[in-house]
Structure 1
Amino acid sequence: MAKIKHLFYCFVIITTSIGFINHASAQDSTGIEIQNPENIIPQQYEIREVTVTGLVTGRESYLISSSGLRVGETITIPGDDISNAIKQIYRTNLFSDVQILYERFPGSLVDIEIAVEEQPRLQRYEIEGVKRSQRRDLNERLNLISGLAVTEAVKSQALNTIERYFSEEGYWNTSIDVIEEPSESNPDRVNLIFDVFRGDRIKVREINFEGNNEFSDRKLRKSFDSIKQDRWWRIFTRHVYTEEAYTEGIENLKLFYRENGYRDIRILEDSIYVDAWRHGRDGVYFNIDIDPGPQYKVRNITWEGNTVYTDEQLTQTLGFEKGDVFNESKFQQNLEINQSESDVTSLYQNIGYLFFQIMENIEIVGEDSLDLHFEIIEDEIATIREVSFTGNTKTHDDVVRRTLRTVPGNTYSRSAIIRTIRELGQLGYFTPEGITPDLRPNRQERTVDIEYGLDETQGSDNFEFSGGFGGRQIGIILAARVNFNNFSFQRMFEPGGWNPIPSGDGQKLSLGIQVTGSGFQSYNFSFTEPWLRGRPTSLGVSLSYDLLNYSNRGRSFFNTQRSGVNERNELFSASVSLGRRLDWPDDFFQQRTVLTFNHYNVDGINQFFDDGKADLLTLRQVIERNSTDSPISPSTGSKFSISAEVALPVPGFSQFYKLKTGYQHHATIVDKLVLSSTVDYGYMGYFSDNNRSNFQRFFLGGTELQQRQNFTNDNINMRGFPGGRGGVISPVNEQRNLIGGRVFSKYSLELRYPAVQSEQLQLIPYAFVDAGNTYSELENFDPFELKRAAGFGARIFLPILGLVDISYGYRLDGTSPSLQNSTGLSPGEWEFLFNIGAPF
């Protein structure tokens, strides 16, 4: 019996080895097939027992299940059952060697032994020869975890991932050596070391075109856009080749031709290669062979099926006339949907035609002419049946519902949906990108259900803490403020309402304090209810107290002549505001009325101001139109405001009146790059020459952090010039005192790009040019006599800290000498400013 068993073992080993060697007769990638060289007649056997040997880390049950050999099943020997079992085990990629041995017993029974040698397991891996940032990126891409079986397929996949990464980064001829070494901490495992030679990051030196008789190579290279030729002046553009950027550039090139009438543009051939360039350096070359085809022009435009709008109205909206070069991008945007809603589809959908359809037929006439024919199915007007929303876990439903412009029973309007998304984003409680409307039309009923998906921000409330330096005379500035932007006064008195604070009703509560090392303190409180008694009427209340306490400090900040005296300047202010949304001239307008009481206790400022107490009771009326899409960094829209403020003629109170107006416009130039322009004017007058007030004149320069200490002034922010009476822009009287202006003008241009936009952080770098001035009288106003500054800065928004604005401005003009600043501000100097809050 032992002899027979020995013969069978030998037979299995020999036949298994023959299966590995005889690759030509293999049926799959393993190259295994059991042969029958002795022409033994196959017989069926019942498996009595299955055992496993050589297994170290795996599970026997998994291995036996993978083989398909189970106790009680019938197999044929010789036959395919054994060879198939070996193949199945190999396919698990867990074993480097597999053998199946069997022993036959009387009664057609057989015992199976599966002998395996396991693949090595991974302990850890390292990537050498790369930068730390590249290693971090590769770790995110590689799917190598401890305990993974180290097979050739696993190593090959890792190599391909590393090579693809460096190819995407513009590296050529990347090579990688894989070193596999036993782990010192675990002898049953191995470490993998990827020794990377990144190759050269060769820049694109030339982009050459053939067949381009219509445009210059320079214009085509500009349209390519995604990759630029390397030139010394192009510091911030991409010069390295990647497949993704190249493919994008080819599509941009085709789009450029189509926008200029060449609908049949084809790339006949393109090649990318590395060759010698200059000074012994290599360069990447692009050769692109173009067949533009004919330039098409519009011949006839016809419409069919339109009853709501005339042919002339639709043609005007389409934006093409007979003889125009056919611009494919313009055609699609004006036909379907564009951002300004000036397209044919919006024309219908904004008045309820949700089921409107338009089919275009573009027919080529002759060699280079197009006939544009449109068939319109207007259908019937759709009505909004239900409006719902999801995702507002903190904000109460009524706060969302009152913001909606789509109301059940109203006619469907695409414009109303866009407006709703904008205004929900303006609340600051939801991420604008996360507001997604889901339309569920019912063609039979001629109705539509709308559901808005909301993505609630994690931190609409914030705590602001900041510090800055206000200059030699002001010193260190420290400020802290807590803003509850989604407060709920009602929930303060409800069980469980403090979790951790009452919130959800859209009310705004703010508490702040500001101090400096030179004796300034400021405390303020404000509360706003945006919807009073369920109506679009806002009610606001604010209280503040400011104290300047300079005692025995010699030459003080305000007083340049007295020394050794106590100077205590105080301001108590209280205001009530009432505002409401208007429907005329359009529903972007709103008006606000503000009644403010200011009590001043002024001591020893200088001879221009009188010591003692003064009171102001002012009434200010503001009309504003705001169509911007974001309170922090608008990308589209405009904002216009005009205000009139009157210091009421109460006996014993100071009296004056002010007129202010401002306009700002925001437009996206390309991608996310935004250009903003602002213009502001102000005028201050008096009812008579006998009651002129010395308070609240216009001063330009600095930030709100600095300006709060000058509470006797009306301070206008301006970058590049510091705050404080010694640095601001102001007229000077005969005694060389800064007296403030009765007229001011300010202009600003800002170019910004939102570099980071997420719930946790918004980073918005910008470049700016500011110009402005103040004038003692209206007859002195000169729009060309301006103080200018240019520079750069950034706005940083963190949910817990709010918005921080830092700027670094270069003064192009100086200011006049004064008693407060004997030399004035010199031109050609940089000024760093720090502020909290949104400028828009």
Structure 2
Amino acid sequence: MKPLLAIKIEKDDLEKQVNKFHNTTMLKKGFKLLLFAFIILGNSTIFAQDTKLENGKDYILADVEVTGKVQYNQQTVVTFTGLEKGQKIRVPGEEISLAIKKLWKLGLFNDVNFYINKIEGDSIYLELNLMELPKLADVKIQGVKKGKTEDLLKETDLKKGKVVNENLITTTKNYIENKYKKDGYYNTKVIISNTPDSTGTEVKMLVNIDKGEKVKVKNIDFSGNEQLTDAKLLKAFKNTKKRNFVRFYKRSKYIKEKYKEDLASVISKYKENGFRDARITSDSVTYDKNSNTVAIKVNLEEGRKYYFGDIRYLGNTIYTDRQLSQLLGVKRGDVYNGVLLQKRIADETKPDGEDITNLYQNNGYLFSSINAVEVRTVNDTIDFEIRITEGPIAYFNKISVVGNDKTNDHVIYRELKTKPGQKYSKELLIRSIREIGQLGFFDPEAIKPDFKNVDPQAGTVDIEYNVVEKGSSQIELQGGYGGGGFIGTLGLSFNNFSIRNLFNKEAYTPVPMGDGQKLALRLQGSTYFQTYSLSFSEPWLGGKKPVNFSASISHSKQFLYNYATRDVTRDQSFNITSFSVGLAKRLRVPDDYFVLSQAVSFQYYDLNNYNTGLFTFGDGASRNLAYTIGLSRNSKGSNPIFPMYGSDFSVSAKFTLPYSAFNGVDYGNLENLEEYKYKYNGSPYTYSDNGVDILVTEGDYLEAIPSTSNPTPKKANSLATAAADPAKVDQEKYKWLEYYKIKFKADTYQRIYGKLVLRALGEFGFMGAYDHERGLVPFERFYLGGDGLANYSLDGRETIQLRGYPNNSLSSTDGGTVYNKYSLELRYPITLNPSASIYALTFVEAGAAFNDFKNYNPFAVQRSAGLGLRVFMPAFGLLGIDFAHGFDPVPGDTQKSGWQTHFIIGQQF
């Protein structure tokens, strides 16, 4: 039915009239309430089907018909309005006004009209005419590289189906412009245009970005500075730098906010050098449109140089003046340093810093306050009072964790150092953040403790830890050609596994998760070898104490492979079966960063006609039963991928039983073994055996050595002597491996500036023998050089990274028994986003391997330097690439190693 009345009411008139007669709130712009037209007409009578609409009359709402361009069904829209059939409403009145407000707040419509369809007695029929805002069908971004487009779409949340209104356009425009201004593109302009489709319900959006050129800094001039040079002041400008094509680590760009920070840094620089009254009298930034540069001029007033005078402490009852003075570290007569004074009282840059505030807060005084007040200035000397309000001791009350959707609560709570009823300690709070981050299940940069219900009267505080979960499981799926054939790898690592839910079907999402256990399965194979391994670890054995239980089993099988012909001989094989079980207990003394670990391992080496030169015997078996004990202290920062502080020290010893002490074998006289061959001692010659020419040289061992004068097969000629078979000798010597290994590692992290971190690493390893006549085994040795990775290891070797040289090139063919390595690495994070953490690095390192301790020289090393990039993605682990230059030749060469490229896959952090 057509509306009985259709009179448009202007916004201003409507607001005045409605407020005058009915005291309703202001109506939104663009809305047309045609049913209120009678307000303007005064007491005029409106005829429709002989029905009179009186001013402010009550009606029963019979129906609301929804018309116009709207995709929602009628009942949904009516529900949005809050109007219901049978409801008593006043026309005009607040019910219609509130309905309009509700529809407007939805942000879905750009036009709303109410009409009266008809009135029957006390019943009124209304029509609601709506025009929906268009929705986003497609977005195209111009003016930036394709790689940046996806990031912008995510950051601005421009998704298909999103309602397009003025707020969305304005917000998107402002965000992009501000984003690029922060990067130095101060003249960035963004134009957004929308093209509607034929129906008008969808639009295609075009975002055109003109970044322009970066605004660079042409000059920074200081005036009024006599005590501090321009060079020192320019160093204080950490974010705003002059153009300098040589400087690559800090490009010139002008950002207003950063410039203001640098001005404050200049004043701080003066305060560090005793000039308390230094101030900036004026500064100017002049923009040159032609060169797109700015010229900065800063006028200074330095004032006089001051010194510390007497320092008194007021209000301290817990700690003596002497204790506080030692921690403050400031004496009478020292040059005034306002920045240092503030840091010694409360260092905002180091939450765990050694300052007076933390001294109190680490011992329960959460409500304490410490302030330094200047009380007297005589000439160039300033006296201070350190005023302390200690307050009551605070205790932790309620401890809670939010944000862990997958990880079970007990996995987090058992790592927390803050317990209900415990005396408040800021140190324990920071330590708890570290322990949560070290789990590897959460974004370490997003862990945030919130203080709830802080009650100074009761002396209690609630702590709520906010965490953001990230992917903790990894998958490794690789295929390619290497070593002469196709190699396939499948690796699955579940780092937050729940073995107790292994038989609970409902817990598979897609695998049982949440109990903090680790389960890893790895399969690797090619035409000539296969490796299978399974490992499991439980960090809290029994659930009550931090005792880590670990177990692993693996089996590998390799067939004899001819790299030239790619033929595989399957009746010649080498098998290794390994088992290990270990326990690691967190200690309390000297502190709870220490871990004592113990493990027992067993390897069984089985050779079946495998004569390749890798071992001196081709048939037989060796066994390796060893016990390993280690002591470590790991205090690295909360982010295990990119620690910014702390250290990791470890020392370990691995022992086998001293079999030579009790097995009764005389290893100095093994030629008494019954099995003999003949050792030829004459000149080389060739003989024919079934048409095959065989060369016999001096030192060859054969069952029979034919001669031209006496070709009897089973007899040796006069130039051959009986000797023990070396294969049999080595089989006896290595039946049970006998050795011991000592290793030490020191790994430290120090924040240099901001997020720039220096990593210093030192390693040492030594392998020894109990019985020198038996000698060292050819297993378990150190192989130095290259990327430090090994797909599989037949002889239990340890590969040690030293970039700038080919893999294993710095050890002898049989491996070293002693090695040392030193490394310095500068790291800077590009992003620490949990979905993909990326950091760049540059390094210098040196190391060497030696065949015995007699020749060991810790300073005779091969050196290298280079740079690299690391990318950590939860699903794939750590990936990276290094470009390294070796400054020295590898042993046996005369030319330096030069540039080497190393690819890093799955290496430890």
TM-score of the pair, normalised by structure 2? 0.71
1:224 and 2:237 aligned = yes
2:785 matched residue in structure 1 = 701
What secondary structure sits across from 2:552 in the alignment? strand
The corresponding residue for 1:793 is: 868
Aligned equivalents of 1:597, 1:290: Cα separation in 2: 74
1:67-112 Cα deviation digits (max 9, x unpaired): xxx99889xxxxxxxxxxxxxxxxxx989xxxxxxxxxxxxxxxxx
How many Å separate the matches in 2 of 1:606 and 1:754? Answer: 46
Question: What percent identity do the matched residue pairs reach?
Answer: 33
The 1:326/1:549 distance shift into structure 2, 3 A limit, reads farther
- AA of the residue aligned to 2:382: L
Amino acid at match of 2:611: G
Residue 697 of structure 2: aligned partner: none
Distance in 1 separating the partners of 2:164 and 2:742: 78
Match of 1:503 in 2: 513
Give the aligned partner of residue 251 of structure 1: 264
**CA distance 1:795–1:479, change in 2 (3 Å):** farther
Among residues 527, 530, 551, which one is paired with 1:521 in the alignment? 530
Structure 2 unaligned residues grouped into runs of 5+: 1-6, 14-39, 54-66, 71-76, 82-88, 94-108, 112-130, 664-734
Unaligned segments of structure 1, at least 5 residues = 1-8, 17-41, 75-92, 96-117, 558-562, 732-737, 818-822
Map of 2:756 onto structure 1: 673
**Alignment map for 1:409-424 (pairs within 5 Å):** 409-424=421-436
How many angstroms apart in 2 are the aligned matches of 1:569 and 1:192? 65
**Within 2, Cα distance between the matches of 1:148 and 1:368?**
66
Inter-partner Cα distance in structure 2 for 1:838 and 1:469: 25
Cα–Cα, structure 1 residues 57 and 763, in superposed 2: closer, same or farther, change >3 Å? Answer: same
Measured in 1, the distance between the counterparts of 2:193 and 2:467 equals 51
Deviation at residue 657 of structure 1 after TM alignment: 0.8
Question: Secondary structure of the equivalent of 1:315?
Answer: helix
SS at match of 2:898: coil
In 2, are the aligned partners of 1:536 and 1:581 still within 8 Å (CA)?
yes
Separation in 1 of the partners of 2:159 and 2:420?
Answer: 54
Tell me which of 265, 268, 273 is aligned to 1:260.
273
Q: Distance in 1 between matches of 2:380 and 2:356?
A: 26
Q: CA deviation at 1:591?
A: 0.6
Question: What aligned pairs does 1:818-837 form with structure 2 within 5 A after superposition?
Answer: 827-837=897-907
> What code does the residue aligned with 1:325 have?
V
Q: Does 1:375 align with 2:360?
A: no
In structure 1, C-alpha distance between the alignment counterparts of 2:564 and 2:209, rounded to whole Å: 68
Q: Which amino acid aligns with 1:358?
A: I
Superposition deviation, residue 566 in structure 1: 6.6
Alignment partners' CA distance in 2, 1:240 and 1:379: 48
Following superposition, the deviation at residue 474 of structure 1 comes to 6.7
Is the partner of 1:316 in helix, strand or coil? helix
Answering whether residue 616 of structure 2 is matched by residue 609 of structure 1, we say yes
User: 1:717-742 deviations in whole A, cap 9, x for unaligned?
Assistant: 3333333xxx43213xxxxxx22222
Please state how far the C-alpha of 1:294 moved relative to its aligned partner: 2.9
Q: 1:701 to 1:221 in 2, by over 3 A?
A: same
Aligned counterparts of 1:701 and 1:174: Cα–Cα separation in 2: 49
The structural deviation recorded for 1:760 is: 1.3
Cα pair distance change 1:434/1:240, threshold 3 Å: closer
Q: Are positions 1:531 and 2:513 aligned together?
A: no
1:569-588 equivalences under 5 Å are: 569-588=574-593
Q: State the match for 2:768 in structure 1.
A: 685
- The Cα shift of 1:631 comes to 2.6
Mapped contact 1:46–1:73 kept (Cα < 8 A): no
- TM-score of the aligned structures, taking structure 1 as reference length: 0.76
1:493-549 Cα deviation digits (max 9, x unpaired): 3463333322222111111123357x3332111111111122221211111122332
CA shift, 1:642, in A, is: 0.6
2:644 alignment counterpart: 635
How far apart, CA to CA, are the structure 2 residues paired with 1:221 and 1:591? 50
2:403 alignment partner, one of 388, 391, 401? 391
Counterpart residue identity of residue 763, structure 1: I
**Separation of aligned partners in 1, 2:341 and 2:800:** 46
Q: Note the C-alpha offset of 1:224.
A: 0.8
Structure 1 residues 718 and 475: alpha-carbon distance in aligned structure 2, compared to 1, 3 A threshold: farther
Say which of 356, 359, 381 aligns to 1:344.
356
Distance of 2:584 and 2:342 partners within structure 1: 42
2:845 paired residue among 759, 770, 782: 770
Distance, in Å, in 1 between the alignment partners of 2:202 and 2:903 is 58
* Other-structure match for 2:630: 622
Q: Distance in 1 between matches of 2:595 and 2:246?
A: 48
Give the superposition deviation at 1:637. Answer: 0.4
Does residue 721 in structure 1 map to residue 728 in structure 2? no
Aligned equivalents of 1:499, 1:146: Cα separation in 2: 30
Q: Is the counterpart of residue 756 in structure 1 residue 831 in structure 2?
A: yes
SS in 2 for 1:754: strand
Correspondence list, 1:647-666, <5 A: 647-650=656-659, 651=663, 652-666=735-749
Residue 372 of structure 1: how far off its partner (Å) = 1.6
Contact 2:218 2:294 in 1 (8 A): yes
Of the three residues 434, 454, 459, the one matched with 2:467 is 454
Residues in 2 aligned to 1:527 and 1:454: alpha-carbon distance in whole angstroms: 26
**Structure 1 pair 143/214, CA: closer, same or farther in 2 (3 Å)?**
farther
Matches within 5 A, 1:175-574: 185=198, 201-275=214-288, 283-337=293-347, 338-439=350-451, 440-457=453-470, 459-466=471-478, 473=483, 478-494=488-504, 496-515=506-525, 519-533=528-542, 534-553=544-563, 567-574=572-579
Residue by residue over 1:561-593, the C-alpha shift from the partner in whole angstroms, topping out at 9 and shown as x without a partner, is: xx9997522221111111111111111101111
**Who is 2:654 aligned against?**
645
Asked whether the equivalents of residues 551 and 566 of structure 1 are also in contact (C-alpha less than 8 Å), the reply is no
In structure 2, the CA distance between the partners of 1:508 and 1:367, relative to structure 1 (3 Å rule), is: same
Question: CA offsets, 1:796-821, max 9 Å, x none?
Answer: 2212222224323222222234xxxx
**For residues 152 and 403 of structure 2, what CA distance do their matches in structure 1 show?**
35
Taking only aligned residues, the RMSD between alpha carbons, in angstroms, comes to: 4.4
Does the 8 Å CA contact 2:883/2:899 hold for their aligned counterparts? no
Cα distance, 1:688 vs. partner?
0.9
The aligned amino acid for 1:253 is V
Aligned equivalents of 1:374, 1:302: Cα separation in 2 = 6
Return closer, same or farther for 1:416/1:468 CA change in 2, 3 Å cut-off. Answer: farther
Q: CA deviation at 1:187?
A: 9.8
Distance 1:830 1:499 in 2: 43
The answer to whether the 8 Å contact 2:135/2:201 transfers is: no
- SS state of the match for residue 496, structure 1? helix
Q: Structure 1 residue 317: deviation in Å?
A: 1.1
How many angstroms apart in 1 are the aligned matches of 2:616 and 2:875? Answer: 41
Task: Using the TM superposition, give the Cα deviation of residue 484 of structure 1 relative to its aligned residue in structure 2, in angstroms.
Answer: 1.3
Q: How many angstroms apart in 2 are the aligned matches of 1:495 and 1:174?
A: 55
Code of the aligned partner of 1:576: V
Relative distance call for 1:199 and 1:363 in structure 2 (3 A) is same
Deviations 1:163-183 (CA, angstroms, capped at 9, x unpaired): 767765545777899999x97
For 1:757-777, what per-residue CA distance to the aligned partner results, in whole angstroms no more than 9, with x for missing partners?
Answer: 122111122222231111111
SS at match of 2:265: helix
**1:624-672: CA deviations, max 9, x gaps?**
0100123322111001111111111345412111111110100111111
SS at match of 1:755: strand
Distance 1:643-1:131 versus aligned 2 partners, 3 A rule: closer
Secondary structure, aligned partner of 1:808 = strand
C-alpha deviation, 1:606, in angstroms: 1.9
1:605–1:787 Cα change, 3 Å:
farther
1:313: Cα distance to partner? Answer: 1.2
Number of aligned residues: 728
Shift, 1:300, TM fit = 1.2
